[in-house]
A = this chain, B = another copy of it.
Amino acid sequence: MKLSTLVKNHAVWMTTPGPYGDIVLTSRVRLARNLSGHRFPGWSEESGRKAVLEEVGPVVQALPEMSEGFFAELNELEARDKHFLVERHLISRELAARSSGCAAAVNRRQSLSVMVNEEDHLRLQSIQPGLNLRAAHAAADAVDTALEATLPWAFDPSLGYLTACPSNLGTGMRASAMLHLPALVLSGEIGRVVHAANKIGLAVRGFYGEGTESLGNLYQVSNQSTLGDPEEAILARIHKVIERIIENEKNARLKLLDENPSTVRDQVGRAYAILRHGYIIPSKEALNLVSMLRLGMDLGLLPPDEHGLIDTLLMDIQPAHLQFAAKSKLGAEERDILRAEILRRRLHSLPAPGTFPENAPEADDTP
Q: Residues on A close to B: CB < 8 A?
A: 262-263, 265-266, 269-270, 272-274, 276-281, 333, 337, 340-341, 344-345, 348, 352-354, 362, 364-367
Q: Which residues of B contact A279 (CB under 8 A)?
A: 262-263, 265-266, 269, 362
Q: A269-B277, A278-B266, A337-B262 are in contact. Are A348 and B364 (CB under 8 A)?
A: yes
Q: Which residues of B contact A354 (CB under 8 A)?
A: 277, 344
Bound CA span A281–B274, Å: 15
Please name 11 pairs of A and B residues whose Cβ atoms are closer than 8 Å in the assembled complex, sorted by A: A266-B280, A269-B278, A270-B277, A273-B273, A274-B274, A277-B352, A279-B362, A344-B362, A344-B364, A345-B366, A348-B367
Tell me which of B263, B272, B280, B366 contacts A263 (CB under 8 A): B280
Q: How far is the CB of A138 from chain B (nearest CB, A)?
A: 39
Bound CA span A272–B270, Å: 10
Tell me which of B262, B263, B273, B366 contacts A276 (CB under 8 A): B273
B273 touches A270 (CB 8 A): yes
A262 touches B280 (CB 8 A): yes
Q: Which residues of B contact A277 (CB under 8 A)?
A: 269-270, 272-273, 352-354, 364
Q: How far is the CB of A132 from chain B (nearest CB, A)?
A: 33
Bound CA span A281–B341, Å: 26
Q: Which residues of B contact A273 (CB under 8 A)?
A: 270, 272-274, 276-278
Q: Which residues of B contact A365 (CB under 8 A)?
A: 348
Bound CA span A287–B238, Å: 49
Known pairs A262-B279, A266-B278, A344-B364 / 12 extra A-B pairs, C-beta < 8 Å: A262-B280, A266-B281, A266-B340, A270-B273, A273-B274, A273-B276, A273-B278, A276-B364, A341-B362, A345-B366, A348-B364, A348-B365
Bound CA span A55–B156, Å: 108
Bound CA span A354–B279, Å: 10
Bound CA span A13–B265, Å: 35
Bound CA span A24–B173, Å: 69
Q: How far is the CB of A11 from chain B (nearest CB, A)?
A: 23
Q: Which residues of B contact A262 (CB under 8 A)?
A: 279-280, 333, 337, 340
When C-beta atoms are compared, the residue in chain B nearest to A362 turns out to be B341
Bound CA span A364–B354, Å: 19
Bound CA span A348–B340, Å: 23
Q: How far is the CB of A275 from chain B (nearest CB, A)?
A: 8
Q: How far is the CB of A153 from chain B (nearest CB, A)?
A: 51
Bound CA span A279–B278, Å: 18
Bound CA span A325–B365, Å: 20
When C-beta atoms are compared, the residue in chain B nearest to A264 turns out to be B279
When C-beta atoms are compared, the residue in chain B nearest to A272 turns out to be B277
A270 touches B278 (CB 8 A): yes
Bound CA span A280–B340, Å: 24
Q: Which residues of B contact A276 (CB under 8 A)?
A: 273, 352, 364
